[in-house]
């Protein structure tokens, strides 16, 4: 199983879309293993966006992510990173496909509702940054047998 980070950004929280966004992931079959609502301080914002430091859009990212509450979400499932990225859609909402979160709910640029980890290494780093080592929950769901197919043994 793979884990990934999703942030519902301040525009998503302010617009009351956290539940709808989380519901899409849960309906897909992804398992919620961590959830926090928090005000993002400058230090956390700078650490999260460190890869973009010095780029022309960096200050805008920092200003936006610290402008209001953020819902940090940890999800788990087979190919969770790629699955979430497909569901989120292209960065610019006006270019995102209908059916994606950004395509259906977003309208412009930095106000793109959501962040999702882009690679396994990034997911590990981001989950640790936003949740810490012991904050995620391991548990079994009764529906997992209906959501995740077991692979046949190869001999």
**48 among known catalytic residues:** no
Query: Which of 142, 147, 117 lies closest to 130, judged by CA?
Result: 117
Ordered strands of the 31-39 beta sheet: 31-39, 69-77, 2-8, 114-116
Which residue among 48, 52, 56, 115 is the active-site one?
115
The β-bridge partners of 7 are 72, 115
Query: Which of 33, 63, 38 lies closest to 139, judged by CA?
Result: 33
Q: φ, ψ for residue 68 (rounded to 5)?
A: -175, 180
Sign of CA dihedral 25, 101, 73, 15: negative
The catalytic residue positions are 115
């Amino acid at each position: 199983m793979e884990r990934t980070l999703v942030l519902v950004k301040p525009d998503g929280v302010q617009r009351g879309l956290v539940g709808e966004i989380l519901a899409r992931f849960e309906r897909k079959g992804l398992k919620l293993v961590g959830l926090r609502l928090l005000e993002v301080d400058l230090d956390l914002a700078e650490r999260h966006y460190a890869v973009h430091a010095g780029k022309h859009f960096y200050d805008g990212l920092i200003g936006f992510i610290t402008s209001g509450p953020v819902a940090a979400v940890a999800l788990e499932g087979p190919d969770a990173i790629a699955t979430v990225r497909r569901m989120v859609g292209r960065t610019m909402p006006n270019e995102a496909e209908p059916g994606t979160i950004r395509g259906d709910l977003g309208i412009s640029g930095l106000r793109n509702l959501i962040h999702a980890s882009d690679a396994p290494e990034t997911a590990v780093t981001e989950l640790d940054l936003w949740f810490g080592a012991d904050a995620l929950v391991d548990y079994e769901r009764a529906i997992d047998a209906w959501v995740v197919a077991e692979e046949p043994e190869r001999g």
